[in-house]
Amino acid sequence: MKKYESLRIFKNPILEACTHVHPIIPLVLWAPVSIYLGFAGQATHGLSLVQMITWYAIGLLVWTFTEYILHRVVFHFPGKSYLAKKFVFLFHGLHHDDPDDPTRLVMPPVPAILIMLLLYKMFALMVPAQFIEVFMSSFIIGYLLYDYIHYATHHFKMTNRVGKYLKKFHLQHHYRHEKAKYGVSSPLWDIILGTMTGPKDEGY
């Protein structure tokens, strides 16, 4: 099988290597963190089953909104300066230029950790302290679902009804109009916020 030829973006081999990530890495990195936070939150605060289920549901819902906002506002930021354009290209523009590169479909560990820490600090200001661990456990599960649904939409046939829908939904974002369909793991916020179709492109 011929090795996929990725677009090279850095002359420095170390920097270039950091842009390539094996798809198993997010699971290896984040699954233990999610499991630990879930058990620690329940053991430390004695949460009931109803509380656990409620905050896991909230965490997943908040993830879908975070995914949507990051994709729409940050990854598609219309930067004007050189640095802004470079930032957007490295975070997401590269993926649109070369959408099927299997080594660039999941988030590299360093930016993923930095973003997750930033979000944890932000959520800790809003989520009651006794629920923050369980909330973040669920939020991380949402992130992992996003990463692997995203990978699957580009590299697997996805024959079941939900999989077919999500694959078509995401590939339309790539190949018909970038200013629509920002959700990957769910179309929920595109429906709510009116981005199921893009400007001058109502024929999705």
Average pLDDT over residues 187-203: 80
pLDDT of residue 67: 94
Among the listed residues 49, 37, 33, 23, the one whose alpha carbon sits nearest the alpha carbon of residue 156: 23
Average pLDDT over residues 30-48: 96
Terminal Cα-to-Cα distance of the chain (whole angstroms): 35
pLDDT of 10-19, one tens digit each? 676 777 676 7
pLDDT of residue 85: 63
pTM for this predicted structure: 0.85
pLDDT of residue 1: 39
Residue spans per domain, the chain: 13-157
Alpha carbons 61 and 78: distance in angstroms, whole number = 27
pLDDT of 89-145, one tens digit each? 565 555 665 666 767 677 888 888 998 999 999 999 999 999 999 999 999 999 999
pLDDT of residue 123: 97
- Contacts with 56 (C-beta within 8 Å, 6 or more apart), sequence order: 134, 137, 138, 141
